[in-house]
Amino acid sequence: MTLKPAFGLSGSALKVIAMISMVIDHVALYLMEYGTVLYETMRCIGRIAFPVFAFLIAEGFIHTRSRYKYFFTLLGFAVISEIPWYLLNGTDGTHNVMFTLALGVATLMVLEYLLQRSLALGFFWTLGMAGLASWLGVDYEWRGIFVIVISYLYNGYDKFFPYRRGMQFFSIFVLMMHYGVIGAIMACMFQYLYNETRGFIQGSIAKYGFYSFYSVHLLFISMNWNNHLCSFIKFIS
């Protein structure tokens, strides 16, 4: 049994919501004063982004014509995004969230095959990929992989989960509450409103523009962050 909302949001609408949330989060993280009410409010809103992106990545994996192309597209943009990520974070051992999404797709590609043969193999494969994500230092680490896998399982194998949306949202909430309870709740609410339609973001230009937005917005923020840093250095000199 799946409860359906009275009105819904398309996949494109969810992408826009997640992008806006992501920008708000990164502006607060890199440009705002830590600990202020505005900073905390913006970071709270920013917690919406990843669970929604993970949900959409799982949906994309289910419906894409080529899983390999899907994976290599994400991996390519992850490599490109490392440049602005490095400008913002330096050599802190972390890597941008596009690597998390690419690892998530790689996990699903093998998991789909393994689940046809053994639940145990699928579980240990997922556990291993989650451990790899943490070892590599990708954004959201092991939690990111589990959120993507959970989103895939509850949507790709919905016949096995009679109350799949409730179970899915509870599982995602438990994983994401580490980063903020309110943000995790809001992310689940937006996912609940998904009406299973693609929406207005269609075609190659729109799709790759969506992927490019991540690295471009980080680049703009890094330029502003460097300006703030230079101003601060001049002030204390």
* Residue 108 confidence (pLDDT): 97
What are the residue ranges spanned by the domains of the chain? 11-236
pLDDT of residue 27: 93
Of residues 68, 55, 31, 22, the one with CA closest to residue 168: 55
For residues 146 and 126, the answer to whether their CB atoms sit within 8 Å is yes
Q: pLDDT value at position 204?
A: 73
In the chain, which ranges are E strands?
none
- Predicted pLDDT at 192: 87
Tokens of 124: 């240990």
Q: What is the mean pLDDT of each run of 10 residues along the chain (237 residues)?
A: 62 93 94 91 95 94 93 96 93 94 98 92 96 97 96 75 72 90 91 84 76 92 66 44
* Contact yes or no for 62/155 (Cβ under 8 A): yes
The Cα 134–Cα 141 span in angstroms is 4
Residue 73: HSE in the Cβ half-sphere, 13 Å Cα cutoff: 17
Q: What is the pLDDT of residue 156?
A: 66
Q: Are 30 and 88 in contact (CB under 8 A)?
A: yes
- What is the pLDDT, as a whole number, of residue 158? 62
The pLDDT assigned to 167 comes to 78
Residues facing 91 on adjacent strands: none
Q: Do 187 and 52 form a contact (C-beta atoms < 8 A)?
A: yes
Give pTM, 2 decimals.
0.88
* Dist. CA 202–CA 19, nearest whole Å: 16
**pLDDT at position 212, please?**
92
pLDDT, residue 236, reads: 46
